[in-house]
Amino acid sequence: MSLVHDDNLLVDKKILKEHGYQVALFMAAVRDVFLQARDDYFIYCSNPEAHPRPEKVISDDGFLEITNDQLCEMTGLSDFQIMNCKKAAVSKGLLKIERRGIPARHHYRILSPQQGVTPHGNG
């Protein structure tokens, strides 16, 4: 369940112009996953008895687990293209990616202000 989620990705024109369509599409997908997680958490918090706890929750330090398969499905990019987009986004200061948990999985934090989504919704 979501407040505003649909099948469209909103691409940031500035990222598109500065970093190309693949990185812009990749960042749009990452942002969409963050927005979906935030919305699901707000819905859960509004009435925990009526809604299940979301599977993915943004951590207090702003990280969220996202899989390559999820990003490939959302964007139509290949796994190789996703890996290149990750490297480009991290090197350009758009994202921070950490491996967390056992087994280790990639957790993302959006760093660019225009893409910002925080656990508490400011941003």
Q: Dmax over Cα atoms in the chain, in whole Å?
A: 45
Query: Does some domain include residue 123?
Result: no
pLDDT surpasses 70 at 123:
no
> Domain range spanning residue 69?
13-115
Please report, for the domain that includes residue 61, its CATH number.
1.10.10.10
Instruction: State the CB neighbour count (10 A cutoff) for residue 118.
Output: 14
Task: Give the mean pLDDT of the chain.
Answer: 84
Residue 3 falls within a domain, yes or no? Answer: no
Residue 7 covered by a domain: no
pLDDT at 118 over 80: no
Give residue-wise pLDDT tens across range 43-86: 888 888 888 777 788 888 989 999 999 999 999 999 999 999 99
Lowest mean pLDDT among 12-16, 23-27, 56-60, 118-122: 118-122
Q: Total structural domains in the chain?
A: 1
List the Cα angle 54/75/42 in 5-degree steps: 20
Q: Does the residue 110 lie in any domain?
A: yes
- Helix 68-75 / helix 79-91 crossing angle, nearest 10 deg: 100
Please, what sign has the CA dihedral across residues 88, 91, 95, 99?
A: positive
Domain assignment present for 37: yes
The verdict on residue 79 lying in a domain is: yes
| In-domain check, residue 81 | yes
Q: Is residue 8 assigned to a domain?
A: no
